[in-house]
């Protein structure tokens, strides 16, 4: 028998059958997911769980099971459903707690927003730094692959600032560039034409504030949605401005947007430089901004990686696979150029 393999008995209290069913999931799918992600075997009888594996894996599984069991507590006599997403986020939280976060003061702790899904908080060290920089910088860039929380956390920070009356309005914008498809003519007024492009921002707002409240705030122009082209000539005071999908801005558009920022305003610019949909030969305003503005102290740049993905774990693997392929492809192209 491997001496590194340990056994640990965990008793979850209170002993509640409904909570245990919710924790384990249908056909124990939640437990199987924890086993797969953390590398330990879980057996149970009632509320007594026997965990088998290496000491570090046992410690991780124990903390995650306890954390999830807390979330199974009934709210207004209703037991919440524990989904695979809940399990993945609990594992992310555990990994964040295991890391030493250097900046204790403003590392995301001020952004506590209650939503239907609970408290919004950073799930990784990079997300934690991102929140901190949003709070302490006038302009903040969030750059990285899909699913890393760039847009979601920016909206959370904007909602938090609005709720605390630090700003008077939230403005959401993005360039209206199709993702490799020709959509043709879109019917409706300006808002209806732009809505499909800004759906991720709307979804985050609906989750945090509720559909009815968001609609009322839009009617009162407290929340404003506009395509980037309509920002020219404006000065934005007392506002929290979010520019999404900024990799599809031109250099001129990025400069135009940044010079709109007025007094007591904050801007967050998000984008993924690996998914640029601009015409061939047009340089991305986001790439250019990284080169030009990196030494400006009031501006922060936050770079996310595949480890920061908070969607299905396979998304991180997909991103890593594409990055590896790109790296090999670039080396081959470079070698051909040298030989020619």
Q: Which residue has the tokens 């250097």?
A: 102
Task: Kindly state whether residues 232 and 85 are assigned to the same domain.
Answer: no
Task: Kindly state whether residues 256 and 158 are assigned to the same domain.
Answer: yes
Extended beta strands in 264-314, E state? 266-271, 299-303
Longest dimension (CA), the chain: 73
**Could you tell me if residue 317 is inside a domain?**
no
pLDDT of residue 339: 57
**Could you tell me if residue 31 is inside a domain?**
yes
Locate all alpha helices (DSSP H) within the chain, ordered by sequence: 17-24, 29-38, 55-71, 84-98, 125-136, 150-163, 190-194, 199-209, 211-219, 251-258, 285-293, 313-339
Task: Kindly state whether residues 252 and 292 are assigned to the same domain.
Answer: yes
| Token output for 208 | 């945090």
Q: Show the CA angle centred on residue 284, arms to residues 239 and 192, nearest 5°.
A: 55
Task: Kindly state whether residues 14 and 77 are assigned to the same domain.
Answer: yes
Task: Kindly state whether residues 59 and 184 are assigned to the same domain.
Answer: no
Of the three residues 76, 97, 118, the one that is the final residue of a domain is 97
pLDDT of residue 114: 57
pLDDT of residue 243: 94
**Could you tell me if residue 328 is inside a domain?**
no
Give Cα 80 distance to the centre of its chain: 23
Domain with residue 119: its CATH number is 3.40.50.300
Asked whether 229 and 249 are in contact (CB, 8 A), the reply is no
Task: Kindly state whether residues 124 and 81 are assigned to the same domain.
Answer: no
pLDDT of residue 197: 67
Of the three residues 62, 97, 132, the one that is the final residue of a domain is 97
pLDDT of residue 1: 44
Structural domains counted in the chain: 2
The CA-atom distances, in angstroms, between 110 and each of 19, 161, 198, 237, 304 are: 31, 10, 26, 23, 21
Domain with residue 22: its CATH number is 3.30.1370.10
Cis bond before residue 284 (omega within 30° of 0): no
Task: Kindly state whether residues 288 and 305 are assigned to the same domain.
Answer: yes
Angle in degrees, 0-180, between the axes of helices 55-71 and 84-98, rounded to the nearest 10: 130
Task: Kindly state whether residues 157 and 79 are assigned to the same domain.
Answer: no
**Could you tell me if residue 322 is inside a domain?**
no
pLDDT of residue 142: 93
Q: What's the predicted TM-score (pTM) here?
A: 0.63
Task: Kindly state whether residues 145 and 258 are assigned to the same domain.
Answer: yes
Residues of the domain holding 297: 105-309
* pLDDT, mean of each 10-residue run, the chain (340 residues): 74 93 92 85 92 87 91 87 84 62 44 60 82 89 88 89 88 71 50 66 86 91 85 86 92 92 92 86 92 88 81 65 71 57
Task: Kindly state whether residues 47 and 126 are assigned to the same domain.
Answer: no
Q: Which residue has the tokens 């998000």?
A: 270
Closest residue by Cα to residue 307 from 61, 127, 59, 45: 127
Q: How many residues does the chain have?
A: 340
SS3 44: strand
**Could you tell me if residue 334 is inside a domain?**
no
**Could you tell me if residue 32 is inside a domain?**
yes
Task: Kindly state whether residues 84 and 161 are assigned to the same domain.
Answer: no
Closest residue by Cα to residue 143 from 268, 253, 9, 325: 268
Asked whether 156 and 122 are in contact (CB, 8 A), the reply is no
Task: Kindly state whether residues 171 and 189 are assigned to the same domain.
Answer: yes
**Could you tell me if residue 215 is inside a domain?**
yes
pLDDT of residue 298: 87
């Amino acid at each position: 028998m491997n001496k590194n393999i340990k056994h640990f008995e965990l008793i979850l209290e209170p002993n509640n059958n409904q909570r245990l069913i919710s924790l384990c999931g249908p056909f124990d799918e939640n437990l199987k997911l924890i086993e797969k992600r953390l590398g330990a075997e879980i057996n149970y009888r009632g509320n007594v769980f026997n965990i088998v594996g290496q000491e570090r894996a046992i410690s991780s599984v124990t903390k995650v099971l306890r954390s999830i069991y807390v979330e199974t507590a009934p709210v207004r006599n209703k037991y919440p459903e524990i989904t695979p997403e809940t399990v993945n986020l609990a594992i992310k939280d555990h990994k964040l707690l295991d890391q030493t976060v250097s900046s204790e003061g403003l590392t995301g702790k001020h952004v506590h927003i209650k939503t239907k899904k609970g408290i919004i908080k950073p799930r990784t060290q990079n997300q934690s730094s991102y929140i901190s920089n949003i709070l302490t910088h006038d302009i903040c860039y969030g750059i990285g692959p899909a699913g890393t929380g760039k847009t979601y956390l920016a909206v959370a920070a904007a909602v938090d600032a609005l709720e605390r009356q630090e700003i008077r309005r939230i403005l959401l914008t993005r360039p209206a560039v199709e993702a490799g498809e020709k959509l043709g003519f879109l019917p409706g007024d300006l808002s209806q034409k732009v809505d499909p492009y800004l759906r991720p921002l709307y979804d985050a707002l609906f989750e945090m504030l509720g559909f009815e409240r968001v609609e009322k705030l839009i009617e009162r122009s407290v929340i404003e949605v506009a395509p980037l082209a309509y920002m020219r000539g404006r000065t934005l005071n007392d506002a929290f401005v979010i520019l999404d999908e900024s990799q599809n801005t031109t250099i001129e558009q990025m400069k135009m947007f940044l010079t709109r920022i007025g007094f007591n305003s904050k801007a967050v610019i998000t984008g993924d430089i690996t998914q640029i949909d601009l015409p061939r030969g047009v340089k991305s305003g986001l790439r250019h901004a990284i080169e030009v503005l990196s030494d400006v102290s009031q501006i922060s740049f936050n770079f996310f990686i595949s480890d920061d993905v908070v969607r299905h774990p396979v998304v991180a693997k997909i991103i890593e696979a594409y990055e590896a392929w790109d790296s090999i492809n670039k080396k081959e192209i470079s070698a051909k150029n040298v030989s020619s």
